[in-house]
Amino acid sequence: MRMWHSLAVGLGLLLPAACGDSSSYNDMPPLTPAAATTCGNGSILMPPSLLPNPAPVNFRLLEVIGSAAGLNGPMDLQAPPNDPRLFIAERPGRICIVQNGALLPAPFLDISSRVTTDGEAGLLSFAFDPQFSTNGFVYVHFIENIPGTTGDIVVERYLVSSPNVLQTPGTEVIRIPHREAGNHYGGRVAFGPDGMLYLSTGDGGGGNNQFGHAQDAASHLGKLLRIDVSTLPYTIPANNPVWPNNVGQNENWAIGLRNPFRYAFDAGQLYIADVGQSAREEIDVVAAGTPGVNYGWSIMEGTLCLGIGGPCTTPGLTAPVYEYGHPEGCAIIGGYAYRGAAVPGLLGQYLFSDLCGGFVRTLSITGVVSQEPNVNVGNPLSFGQDGFGEIYVLTADNRVLQIVSP
CATH number at residue 55: 2.120.10.30
Q: What pLDDT was estimated at residue 346?
A: 87
Name the amino acid, one letter, at 149. T
**Residue 1 belongs to a domain:** no
Sheet strands side by side (includes 8-14): 8-14, 359-364, 350-354, 332-337
Report the distance separating Cα 351 and Cα 337, nearest Å: 6
Give yes or no for a contact between 331 and 356, defined as CB atoms under 8 angstroms apart: yes
Range of the domain at 146: 8-404
- The answer as to whether 230 is a domain residue is yes
Please tell me the distance from the alpha carbon of residue 184 to that of residue 86, in angstroms, as a whole number: 27
Per-residue confidence in pLDDT tens, the chain, 406 aa: 333 333 344 433 322 233 334 444 445 665 655 555 788 876 666 555 544 433 334 788 889 999 999 999 999 999 999 999 999 999 999 999 999 989 999 999 999 999 999 999 999 999 999 999 999 999 999 999 999 999 999 999 999 999 999 999 999 999 999 999 999 999 899 999 999 999 999 999 999 999 999 999 999 999 999 999 999 999 999 999 999 888 889 999 999 999 999 999 999 999 999 999 999 999 999 999 999 999 999 999 999 999 998 889 888 999 999 999 998 889 999 999 999 999 998 888 899 999 988 888 888 876 433 344 344 556 899 999 999 999 999 999 999 999 998 7
Contact 201, 222 (CB under 8 A): yes
Task: Please check whether residue 105 lies inside any domain of the structure.
Answer: yes
Domain-located, residue 21: yes
Q: Model pTM greater than 0.75?
A: yes
User: What's residue 46's pLDDT?
Assistant: 54
Helix, coil or strand: residue 88: strand
Residue 301 CA to its chain's centroid (Å): 19
In a domain, 3, yes or no: no
Residue 2 belongs to some domain of the structure: no
Whole-angstrom Cα Rg for the chain: 20
Cα–Cα dist 34/55, whole Å: 35
Q: Hey, what amino acid is at 232?
A: L
How many domains does the chain divide into? 1
